[in-house]
Structure formats: structure tokens, C-alpha cells
């Protein structure tokens, strides 16, 4: 749970955890995919961080936090986190393939995930934080599998990230969208307290964080 990352920061900042935000608003509608654009879906723990990691990239039009991989329709944050619906927190990335390729998105994804942790990511534990790649078509599936094999060969150990054909993607509540931009201090406190960047540097060294723009 995100609350664990915040035990080391002042109590006034505990509200930074996702679990502390009240669910009072509906999520955004399904985005319109511009002509020529494509989409990709990734899960690497807290979707606040995954969304922020992808939105900084040139060629990314939009990144939407949401839930996927589960059994129920239109789940809430509480359903996913506490209700064992089978969903994970994920981000749908809408991108311009003329500016950035799916392969480049994969490279960026890997350098923003702990590929060895099957039971969560960083300080966030539980099934809803498991790491996944969700290809939306056969081409993405082939590229995702190839990238996983490259990572496995690089580290010479089993990789915990799962690859699963994309299914329904349910946008998360409005207060989760663009969280890093709307709440920069809380976000940075959470991210640091969670040890995300510290762990990425341990794994990836200077490559941690992926593409810079």
C-alpha cells in the first residue's frame, strides 16, 4: 500500500497516498484516439508514477490512469485495491508512431519497472500493483515478448513482468488523473518515500528512468 511509503514523512503528508484520497468523482470518458495515433497499455505499480513517466515523452499524446485485467466492469479504486477484482493499476498511452515507436515505449517501460518483483512494485504491495505489459495487437505482442527475452538475457534471471493480451481498460477516478501535475509536492514525497527511483538506479544504473524526452 502507498501508505507504507509515507511513514517516513510528516503526518501532514500522509494524504499523498492513493489510499487516502476519497472516491467522489467519476473517471474521464474514453479518449478519442486521433487519426494516425496508436495506444499501448502498461502496468508498473502506482499509476500516478507510470502516467508521469510516460507523459514526459515526446510523441506521447496522452496517458490515462486506469484499471485492467480484472473480472468486473467499471471498478472503483476501492474495488481494485481491496475487493480482489483481479485488476491492476495501469496506464493507457496514446502516442504518435511517427514520433515514437512502440519499441521505444517498451524500452522506456522496462527502465521504469522492477522486473523481478511479482508481488507489487517498490513500496506498493498486492495484486493490484503487479507489473504487466498489455499488447493491443499482434505486432505489439511480438515486440513485447521479444523485449522480455532481451531483459531476461541481460540479467540472466527470471522476469516477473507478465504479458497479457489487452482487455477492457477502465479509466480511474478523476482525482487520479494527472496526479503528479495537480499535486507535485505530495507526488514527489510519495515517490521518494516509496523508494522507486532509488530501486530503479540499483537495477538499471544510468539507464534508470528511460528516455529523457
Active-site annotation, residues: 46
Closest CA to 143 of 101, 112, 113: 101
Contact by Cβ (8 Å): 210, 200? no
Domain with 81 in it: what CATH number?
A: 3.30.1060.10
Give dist(CA 36, CA 48) in Å, integer: 27
User: What does each C-alpha distance from 87 to 73, 136, 151 come to in angstroms?
Assistant: 10, 17, 25
Is residue 139 included in any domain, yes or no?
Answer: yes
What is the per-residue pLDDT for 2?
Answer: 57
Contact by Cβ (8 Å): 89, 67? yes
Domain count, the chain: 1
Could you list the residue range(s) of the whole structural domain that residue 163 is in?
33-207
Global confidence as pTM: 0.86
Mean pLDDT, contiguous 10-residue spans, the chain (213 residues): 49 41 48 90 98 98 96 93 93 98 98 98 97 99 99 98 96 97 98 98 96 67
Is residue 9 included in any domain, yes or no?
Answer: no
Classify each residue of 5-22 as buried b or exposed e, where b means 16 or more C-beta atoms within 10 Å of its C-beta.
Answer: bbeeeeeebbebbbbebe
Is residue 160 included in any domain, yes or no?
Answer: yes
Contact by Cβ (8 Å): 46, 6? no
What is the per-residue pLDDT for 84?
Answer: 84
Give dist(CA 121, CA 199) in Å, integer: 10
Give dist(CA 15, CA 115) in Å, integer: 28
Beta pairing, strands 38-43 & 124-125: unpaired
81: its cell numbers:
485495491
Is residue 128 included in any domain, yes or no?
Answer: yes
**Does residue 133 sit in helix, strand or coil?**
strand
Is residue 183 included in any domain, yes or no?
Answer: yes
Closest CA to 135 of 36, 43, 18, 27: 43
What is the per-residue pLDDT for 71?
Answer: 87
Is residue 121 included in any domain, yes or no?
Answer: yes
Report DSSP state, residue 164: -
Is residue 107 included in any domain, yes or no?
Answer: yes
Is residue 181 included in any domain, yes or no?
Answer: yes
Amino acid at each position: 500500500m502507498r501508505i507504507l511509503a509515507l511513514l517516513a514523512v510528516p503526518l501532514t503528508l500522509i494524504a499523498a497516498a492513493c489510499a487516502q484520497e476519497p472516491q467522489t468523482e467519476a473517471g474521464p470518458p474514453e479518449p478519442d484516439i486521433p487519426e494516425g495515433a496508436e495506444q499501448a497499455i502498461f502496468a508498473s505499480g502506482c499509476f500516478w508514477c507510470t502516467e508521469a513517466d510516460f507523459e514526459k515523452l515526446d510523441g506521447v499524446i496522452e496517458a490515462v490512469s486506469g484499471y485492467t485485467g480484472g473480472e468486473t466492469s467499471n471498478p472503483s479504486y476501492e474495488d481494485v485495491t481491496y475487493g480482489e477484482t483481479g485488476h491492476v493499476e495501469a496506464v493507457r498511452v496514446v502516442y504518435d508512431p511517427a514520433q515514437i515507436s512502440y519499441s521505444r515505449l517498451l524500452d522506456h517501460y522496462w527502465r521504469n519497472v522492477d522486473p523481478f518483483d511479482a508481488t507489487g512494485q517498490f513500496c506498493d504491495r498486492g495484486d493490484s500493483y503487479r507489473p504487466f505489459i498489455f499488447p493491443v495487437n499482434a505486432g505489439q505482442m511480438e515486440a513485447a515478448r521479444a523485449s522480455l527475452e532481451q531483459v531476461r538475457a541481460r540479467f540472466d534471471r527470471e522476469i516477473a513482468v507478465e504479458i497479457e493480451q489487452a482487455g477492457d481498460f477502465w479509466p480511474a477516478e478523476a482525482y487520479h488523473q494527472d496526479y503528479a501535475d495537480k499535486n507535485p509536492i505530495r507526488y514527489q514525497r510519495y515517490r521518494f518515500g516509496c523508494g522507486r527511483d532509488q530501486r530503479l538506479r540499483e537495477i538499471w544504473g544510468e539507464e534508470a528512468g528511460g528516455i529523457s524526452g
